[in-house]
Chain A
Amino acid sequence: MEEKTLTYFESSGGFLGARSGEEEYTRVRAVRLFPFSDPDKYISIRVGSETGEELVVIRDLTELAPEQRELIEHDLELNYFMPVINKIISIKDEYGYAYFHVMTDKGEVKFTINMGGTNVSKLSETRLLITDINENRFEIRDVRELTPAEQRKLDLFL
């Protein structure tokens, strides 16, 4: 389906709906195809849920009209919560578990990770994904941007 033919509207509950000609979908879901490599490009719009039929793939969100873009971004907000750590306040380790206290782009948070196993995975040489005991995931975009003190604290896992 051509990108241009779909118009989006706010559906009940603040969810996303879409219309194409006579067809109306009361609930569609926006799915990021590259949530890490390129979060705002290639958004798949699917009917009902992430397992529903795909209607269209939006190549670039910035190419849409601002109000349309806002609606889709709102749906993405409801679907994805991926905090990015920008400051490490403290890391304490005790008996195989590490207790993090960090500042993220979504606010301050504390979490616990199990030190055994691959709960810290490298998305690239400088990009880390940390998974905690509740399966929440936290991203560190660039390790080099942390202060040397913070880097040293992380060293145990690098």
Chain B
Amino acid sequence: MILNFELTDDLRSLITLTDKEEIYYSLPIDIDERSRYTRDSFLVVSNTTIYVIMHGALKRTLAIADCSEAKSHAHVGQGLLTVNHKGVLTVLARYTHGHMGRYAYVARGINILASGRTEHVESNEYEASCPKCGRAIPGTARCPHCSGENRFVSTVKRIAKPYIPQFIGIAVLMILASVTTLVNPAIQRHLVDNVLLEEEPSKTAAFLCLGGMFLMSAGIVFVNVAKSFYSTKLGARISMDMRNSLFDKLQKAPLSYINDRRPGELLNRVVQDTRVIREFMENSFCNLFTVAFIFVCDVIFMLSINPKLALLSFIPAPFVVMLTLAFRKSIHRRFHLQWHKNDDASSNLQDVISGMRVVKSYGNEKPEAAKFLKYSNEYCRVQTRNECFWAIFNPMLSFLMGAGVFVVVYFGGRDVLLGDMTTGELIQFMTYTTLLYQYLNWMTQLPRQLTAIISSLERIDDILAFDRIPNHGEGVVKTIEGQVDFEKATFGYRSYKPVLEGIDLHVRQGEKIGIVGPSGAGKSTLINLLMGLYEADDGVLMVDGTDIRTLDRKSFHSQLGVVLQETFLFSGTILENIRFARPDATYEEVIAAARTANAHDFICRTPGGYDTYVGEKGYNLSGGERQRIAIARAVLANPSLLILDEATASLDTESEYLVQNALSKLTKGKTTFAIAHRLSTLKDCDRLIVIDGHRICEVGSHEELIAAKGLYYELLTAQLQMQRRREG
């Protein structure tokens, strides 16, 4: 991320730097004091001074020595940079969202300078748009356009490379198809001119011609079948390759990549965009070269037989093409609108049906029905209009296709009558003309298909080009003992909005740490950092003295045990779910894990035992049972480091006891981090940390914190009061 924008000469000349002064940061200010967009405004920070340039003129100069507590604020649609100047809170700059991250870094930079240090602040985050050409560059460091590589071409090359022999084979078939198509009319001509119109037609010659024509026609069929077969096969292989690459990339990408996007969008890439490519291969590609080849040969043949007639027959062509293109464009837009209306109606329907319980309990059936009716009617209206449009214009277009042939018949017929052309030649010519217009028509659908495939390829390439993959396989492989150290760790899902700041914590092996704090304080975020799902923006997280970022992902995760609040069980059997931790575990190991987790008994009670199928979210099992399977999974992994996110929902007493007991067996002797709510869990922890306001505000054992009467004490007494009230 750029923190030092280049100033134009005019703006640069407004600032005169003293001897030891150098510019550290220079950021655009894009909102002025009247809340309007502005372009020639910058905030320039040197090691001694802050300059504010507004509308091309130097407006303020502040000595950094007089400043402190620079802070970037994220508001709605804009951000503010404030600084404490000579004790007075001052707004230095206002900016739009695109600069929020930059100003957060620069605020930190200003504070560093103000404290007398001279380090530069740098950001590794990527730009969202190329600073040179303004094009969006998602997830990559280089702008493909400016660096000269044509992404589309290179993507196509990459995809096609392994299949070059198949492509060549298909190309050969295409040429064969072209040849057979073009030879047929020539035979026809020969038949008409030299056989049928002769004084004494020779039967053998006629049959020879017919035989030839038959062979050609049959040949065309075979070649086309072969061509389609191989194209389809190739299309399926290529789209499978792409799906695999995409899925692979999505697995490797950091969690933030997936969380930043809607799941449906990613699903579409893997499923739909690859389908578009397959369909293109099946429908268009296999005919692409054939059509182009035949088209060119067609034109040549026509010009060689009768140039004047050929040119005459070409005349309607441009008009027909333009009209067809316009028609297709209109049709596309209409059907896009229709699809949208259908989508609206379906979404509405899905919404209401899933929420039927709420609809009924508020008695809103009639209004909802009316709403759906409105959507339905709208869809119907658009659909009817589109079908009418199609019904009217499509036949007209087909008529126009024949335009060329009318021209040929008239002028050609005249030529034949005048003796300038033979009948056979005319027939051949007519066939060629029909072919010509047919192929022109076929080609008019290409622009649309090409745009679709280019878009799909681009979207797929977006994901494949993403290169901020955290280290995989090159990391240090270590057996984890369980010592964990946080040093000044800072993290925010958006870097300018930290959720955890300056976390300092040292945990010994085997210690059980309880994490408490008000809702939204950052407990789950701390866990996410521990699990390596996100990386700290600032500061360091170390496991056994090694920076977690340098550890081999796979090895680290295999030694990590996780039991989360929302128990996610995959579609599969209980056995498969427990084995998720170690697919090669034996039955004995699985049963032993289930026993430790107090799950064995209820599994025995299910009709399928360990082979019982549990659906996408652990269908048919109670909450406590699912928790215990998750615990069994964690037990099987035999991890050195455990992460627990305690479920807040209370289970019935028996399940509660069983789950608690299972958890204490699981965590024995292992370093554990638990987001805890229950008094029993809290008392069991060696130390508790209380997170509030992005920081750790209290650390100590349960007894120590109670005695300290701080935030922990308050949280606990509030909880106890609530419980007492609930129990009446």
Contacts and interface: CB of A to CB of B under 8 A. Distances in A.
A99 interface: yes
Given A96-B455, A97-B136, A117 B35 contact: no
A114 interface: yes
A117 B262 contact: yes
A80 B77 contact: yes
Interface in A1-59: 11-15, 35
Interface in B603-645: none
Interface residues of A, number: 37
A83 B36 CA distance: 9
Contacts of B91: 13-14, 78
B451 to A, nearest CB: 10
A109 B129 contact: no
A117 B265 contact: yes
Contacts of B94: 78, 81
A96 B458 contact: yes
B331 interface: no
A111 B77 CA distance: 14
A112 B134 CA distance: 9
Interface string B175-210: 000000000000000000000000000000000000
A158 B340 contact: yes
Interface string A97-126: 101000010111110101011100000000
B484 to A, nearest CB: 30
A81 B78 contact: yes
Interface string B443-463: 000000000001100110010
B134 A99 contact: yes
B89 A12 contact: yes
Interface in B449-490: 454-455, 458-459, 462
A67 interface: no
Given A13-B82, A134-B96, A107 B135 contact: no
Nearest to B82: A13
Contacts of B129: 112, 133
B65 interface: no
Nearest to B455: A96
A94 B462 CA distance: 13
Contacts of B265: 116-117
B135 A94 contact: yes
A74 B78 CA distance: 14
Interface string A132-147: 0111110000000000
A155 interface: yes
Given A99-B134, A133-B128, A134-B96, A82 B459 contact: no
A82 B36 contact: no
Interface residues of B, number: 39
B139 to A, nearest CB: 11
Given A106-B37, A117-B265, A133 B96 contact: no
B77 A134 contact: no
A112 B98 CA distance: 11
Given A109-B37, A112-B129, A133-B129, A82 B135 contact: no
A107 B439 CA distance: 50
A77 interface: yes
A78 B75 contact: yes
Given A81-B35, A107-B36, A133-B129, A95 B77 contact: no
Count chain A CB atoms within 10 A of each CB in B35, B151, B268 and give the residue with the most. Answer: B35
A12 B37 CA distance: 24
Contact of B458 (A11, A80, A95, A106): A95
A90 interface: no
B80 interface: yes
Contact of B454 (A12, A95, A155): A95
Given A12-B90, A79-B75, A80-B76, 7 more contacts: A78-B75, A81-B31, A99-B134, A104-B37, A108-B37, A116-B268, A134-B96
21 contacts: A11-B89, A12-B89, A12-B90, A13-B82, A78-B75, A80-B75, A80-B78, A81-B76, A81-B96, A83-B77, A95-B454, A99-B134, A108-B37, A109-B37, A116-B459, A117-B261, A133-B129, A134-B96, A134-B97, A136-B77, A155-B333
Q: Which 10 A-B pairs have the closest CB atoms?
A: A134-B98, A13-B89, A81-B78, A107-B37, A81-B77, A95-B458, A97-B136, A12-B89, A136-B97, A135-B97
Interface of B: 31, 35-38, 75-78, 80, 82, 88-91, 94, 96-98, 128-129, 134-136, 138, 151, 261-262, 265, 268, 333, 336-337, 340, 454-455, 458-459, 462
